[in-house]
């Protein structure tokens, strides 16, 4: 039997599992459709790290395990995972999810792959995108500007690609074959 789940939802918590979404900075509990860190409490969940009270204190808040994932739940209780907390960066106290920006840029028909990183700036970090494309006939700089305008027209101002868009031949991958943000951060910018 197929379940009728909303797009991109990971479903509802398993029975007996308690779920909270918390602001990663203040640890305030958030409501439906508000993004924050996913925290869970369940009967079978471990309660502490062996002989490591410091790690235990960092990993739990009010008995809930801090997963390190950013997500939200909707009015019907469906959970959505958006990104990893360690991937999120800030620009003037606004959280920016690289995955969210990548999903927007990926919708451009010429984009094959994309990786967004945070580039240091006065306000924290600004988004910078590295992309591979299927093909193009216009000058590279023109296509980079087109991709930047395409994305910026769909994003909040603080999420604009102020760090630029750069077309590369390939995006570096780690041992698992996935694009590596750490290696992308080392790519030279013309």
What number is the average pLDDT over the span 25-39?
Answer: 94
- 49 and 104 inside one domain: no
Q: If 0-12 CB within 10 Å is exposed, 13-18 middle and 19+ buried, where does residue 98 land?
A: buried
d(CA 126, CA 34): 22
Model confidence, pTM: 0.75
d(CA 45, CA 13): 13
The residues, ordered by sequence, that sit 6+ positions from 189 with a Cβ below 8 Å of its Cβ are 128, 164, 166
d(CA 98, CA 90): 11
Q: Is residue 2 part of a domain?
A: no
Q: Answer whether 156's CB lies under 8 Å from 146's CB.
A: no
CATH of the domain at 135: 3.30.300.30
The residues, ordered by sequence, that sit 6+ positions from 168 with a Cβ below 8 Å of its Cβ are 130, 131, 132, 187
What confidence tens digit (pLDDT) does each residue in 62-99 have?
999 999 999 999 999 999 998 888 888 999 988 899 99
- Say how many domains are in the chain: 2
Residue 80: give the domain boundaries: 9-87
Question: Does 1 have pLDDT greater than 80?
Answer: no
Q: Is residue 3 part of a domain?
A: no
What confidence tens digit (pLDDT) does each residue in 111-151 have?
999 999 999 999 999 999 999 999 888 899 999 999 999 99
């Amino acid at each position: 039997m197929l379940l009728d789940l909303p797009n991109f939802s990971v479903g509802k918590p398993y029975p007996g599992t308690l779920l909270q979404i918390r602001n990663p900075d203040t640890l305030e509990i958030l409501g439906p459709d508000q993004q924050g860190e996913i925290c869970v409490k369940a009967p079978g969940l471990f309660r502490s790290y062996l002989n490591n009270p410091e790690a235990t204190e960092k990993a739990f808040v009010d008995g809930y395990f801090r997963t390190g994932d950013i997500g939200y739940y909707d009015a019907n209780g469906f959970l959505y995972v958006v990104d990893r907390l360690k991937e999120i960066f800030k620009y003037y106290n606004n959280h920016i999810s690289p995955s969210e920006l990548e999903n927007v840029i990926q919708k451009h028909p010429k984009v094959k792959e994309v990786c967004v990183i945070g580039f240091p700036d006065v306000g924290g970090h600004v988004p910078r995108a590295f992309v591979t494309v299927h093909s193009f006939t216009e000058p590279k700089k023109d296509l980079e500007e087109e991709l930047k305008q395409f994305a910026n027209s769909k994003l909040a101002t603080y999420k604009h690609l102020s760090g630029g868009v750069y077309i590369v031949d390939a995006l570096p991958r780690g041992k698992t074959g996935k694009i590596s943000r750490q290696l992308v951060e080392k790519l030279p910018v013309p």
